């Protein structure tokens, strides 16, 4: 019985640690989510402005990409944390109003020329992607 009691105590301590770690993780993710949401709104607005400028210059062939979103994100002041993954930037174009119109190769260092989508802003606000 002593052995079971010790195992039970260890199990309870470990469970408490896990619960605390999960709570801490959830707190951190919630804070990051709020921060990223603000960044996403700002980046979306800038991508819309950039698209409109390009549409004026390039006409119907205008587009923006995740490279553009990343470049803008990296230019923010104060700069975003280096340790923060930039993967969330793909969500910029998930809102209504953006339509995928093709692919191009990423020019971002470290992206190895991977294919990324080209996006256009639709007039109707409907997301065709």
Q: Tens digit of pLDDT for each residue in 5-18? A: 666 666 676 778 88
Mean pLDDT in residue range 46-60:
97
Does residue 116 contact residue 105 with C-beta atoms inside 8 Å? Answer: yes
Q: Domain for residue 82, yes or no?
A: yes
- pLDDT for the residue 4: 59
Mean pLDDT in residue range 25-35:
61
Q: Domain for residue 114, yes or no?
A: yes
Confidence of residue 129 (pLDDT cuts 50, 70, 90): very low
Q: Domain for residue 126, yes or no?
A: no
Q: Domain for residue 127, yes or no?
A: no
Q: Domain for residue 53, yes or no?
A: yes
Separation between Cα atoms, residue 90 and residue 117, nearest integer Å: 10
Does residue 119 contact residue 91 with C-beta atoms inside 8 Å? Answer: no
Q: Does pLDDT of 33 surpass 90?
A: no
Q: Domain for residue 109, yes or no?
A: yes
Q: Domain for residue 65, yes or no?
A: yes
- pLDDT for the residue 85: 77
**Closest to 94 (Cα-Cα) out of 128, 49, 57:** 128
State the residue range of the domain holding 30: 2-121
**Closest to 129 (Cα-Cα) out of 87, 89, 88, 93:** 93
Does residue 73 contact residue 82 with C-beta atoms inside 8 Å? Answer: no
Instruction: Provide the number of structural domains found in the chain.
Output: 1
Structure-derived torsion over alpha carbons of residues 54, 49, 51, 104, reported in degrees to the nearest 10: 110
Name the one residue in this structure whose structure tokens are 């400028």: 53
Beta strand segments in the chain, E? 64-65, 98-105, 115-121
Q: Domain for residue 129, yes or no?
A: no
- pLDDT for the residue 36: 74
Q: Does pLDDT of 50 surpass 70?
A: yes
Q: What is the CA radius of gyration of the chain?
A: 22
- pLDDT for the residue 83: 75
The tokens for 39 are 């960044």
């Amino acid at each position: 019985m002593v052995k079971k009691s010790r195992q039970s105590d260890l199990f309870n301590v470990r469970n408490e640690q896990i619960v605390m770690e999960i709570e801490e993780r959830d707190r951190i993710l919630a804070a990051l989510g709020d921060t990223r949401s603000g960044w996403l709104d700002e980046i979306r607005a800038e991508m819309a402005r950039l698209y409109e400028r390009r549409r004026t210059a390039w006409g119907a062939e205008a587009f923006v990409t995740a490279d553009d979103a990343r470049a803008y994100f990296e230019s923010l002041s104060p700069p975003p944390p280096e340790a923060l993954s930039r993967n969330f930037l793909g969500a910029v174009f998930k809102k209504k109003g953006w339509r995928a119109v093709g692919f191009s190769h990423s020019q971002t260092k470290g992206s190895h020329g991977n294919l990324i989508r080209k996006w256009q802003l639709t007039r109707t606000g409907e997301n065709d992607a």
